[in-house]
């Protein structure tokens, strides 16, 4: 698809078209996906967050926008996708949003724990230790897996 056509598709009235255009735009770093992180349709926001996490190098300014979605978006799936993208990017300026997400609902907490993998430090260790005692078994398992991979001690040595 030509870049001009893709730009038109990203502004299409149909969320189905915008969502597909976001996926195609991953490989087009000259096309900004940041505006789609504020789309009116949650499925477009989710796709845009995913796509932003797949881009290398990351689009300038995207970490702050993903952090805003991760902490403020009303839809849990959008928050989850934004947290996953922040973890994939591994930019230290997104760490506070990931840490905040470790206190969200279970699916977001689980994704946030996984997103901590590229990070180190006492706040990361504390979040992993807290997650090892989470009420959700999948959050606990993710924390144990990440802790084992990063050398973070178990909650109960």
What pLDDT shows up at residue 45? 98
What pLDDT shows up at residue 149? 72
Q: Does domain 3-150 have CATH number 3.30.300.210?
A: no
What pLDDT shows up at residue 148? 78
Tell me which long-range contacts 137-141 makes (C-beta under 8 A, separation of at least 24).
138/106, 138/110, 139/106, 139/109, 139/110, 139/113
pLDDT in tens, 61-83: 999 999 999 999 999 999 999 99
C-alpha to C-alpha distance for 92 and 42, rounded to whole angstroms: 26
What pLDDT shows up at residue 120? 95
pLDDT in tens, 33-52: 999 999 999 999 999 999 99
Are 140 and 109 in contact by the 8 Å Cβ rule? The answer is no
Mean pLDDT of the chain: 94
pLDDT in tens, 88-108: 999 999 999 999 999 999 999
């Amino acid at each position: 698809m030509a870049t001009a056509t893709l730009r038109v598709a990203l502004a299409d009235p149909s969320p189905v078209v915008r969502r597909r255009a976001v996926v195609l735009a991953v490989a087009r770093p000259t096309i900004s996906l940041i505006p789609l992180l504020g789309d009116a349709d949650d499925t477009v926001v989710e796709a845009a967050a995913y796509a932003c996490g797949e881009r290398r190098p990351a689009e300038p300014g995207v970490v702050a926008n993903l952090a805003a979605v991760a902490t403020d978006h009303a839809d849990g799936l959008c928050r989850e996708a934004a947290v996953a993208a922040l973890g994939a990017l591994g930019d230290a300026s997104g760490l506070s949003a990931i840490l905040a997400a470790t206190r969200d609902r279970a699916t977001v907490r689980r994704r946030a724990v996984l997103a901590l993998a590229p990070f180190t430090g006492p706040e990361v260790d504390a979040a992993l230790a807290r997650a090892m005692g989470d009420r959700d078994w999948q959050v606990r398992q993710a924390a144990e897996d990440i802790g084992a991979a990063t050398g973070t001690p178990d909650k109960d040595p």
